[in-house]
Structure 1
């Protein structure tokens, strides 16, 4: 039997998604809790691996098991054994042709940034921070060049293992609420550190270091050395994964649970 789960987690409590020997990852915690319910060890596969410090409101995973359990056992039962900072939101039985990673045709991320002279305290680790005033209008103007299919090599980490740097950016937006900024990205996929590198470049534009047209030049140049440094992971959230509509996932798998902008 194959089961799909919707997961949320606070990335600052773990050392990334992918299993490590030390066991302090989201995957390690989830597999240990699932094994308690299934009665046997099992392996989970996710829609997209996240780095240390990166959060998720809508991660999708699947696993295979011979254990027959009610959906509630895979949710409330598993949550009983999960540490604070990670929880299962839903569970659905799927057939063996479903794959959380390979069948996902679209993903959505949001980066939350606190724009204030002083660093955040209550939201430390949950939002990014930049101390200088930022012009969200200029950042939105610059971000418009990212729409469509492009070679995103200029915003790709050196250790990225993707076979191609070509990605189709289907939505990008920059929104302000008081002292907070939200950067929303929706694409067929993302490269390693791509969003954090894009946010860093947009911050360069927002603080006035470069005009909005600079981002299009960097994108076309495909040269990582011309772009801004990688921004902190603190404010980055995986918040939507889309699958073909025939799968029996909540909202056909198109779960978009966006973390909200805090009150200004």
Structure 2
């Protein structure tokens, strides 16, 4: 397969529904990329060819309820995504892989590393909520209010993506991608999945305890989701005994905004853990 060509969508049937994924195959180090909530695996569309060109096997997976996965599930929590990623490794016959989690699924790759350490060679957290700074009552209220607004008015999500998540402004290509994400919220039945994510716990306490594999923390210096992005990154590094790379000028989705910078940080880590 040409490094710039998107692989074909495949499906994994589980007891609770169907997960969509793709796989570049090959003999390189397997890397599983998980998107954040309300997103799709296509958020890695610019990063995947850079990793593939470097010789790695890249697998991207849609989360429950979004992308091309089935919508209705009993649970949309980060532990479920961890179990799904491990099930996908079993399906593909992969003994060990590096797991990359974005935002909501940062907790998922941490969970997978403690649930099945023999399968996880390393984890990468991209602008994740793991070990986030404690929220006061005002911040908790704002988060709940935002979640309710997204449920009622999908345009709120589109506004966040276009006006906040990408400091410096979005390109036409990113704007078109964001428009598709906003439209997906209006799909019949999607509100159930949306509610599961926006009212779920994206930053569970204590999950980093027991992680023994190598860990890399990537964080945008201008991520609007964190008042102090580097402080959160430092907390994650301390909890995971890992290392950090701050992506200068990036917001909440550096893999889409600055894919080359993310690849430059990720590739040495993959070489080391392989």
* TM-score relative to the length of structure 2: 0.29
Specify which structure has the bigger relative contact order, considering alpha-carbon pairs within 8 angstroms and separated by 6 or more residues.
1
Structure with the higher strand share, 1 or 2 = 1
* Greater gyration radius: 1
Higher relative helix content = 2
> TM-score, normalised on structure 1?
0.30
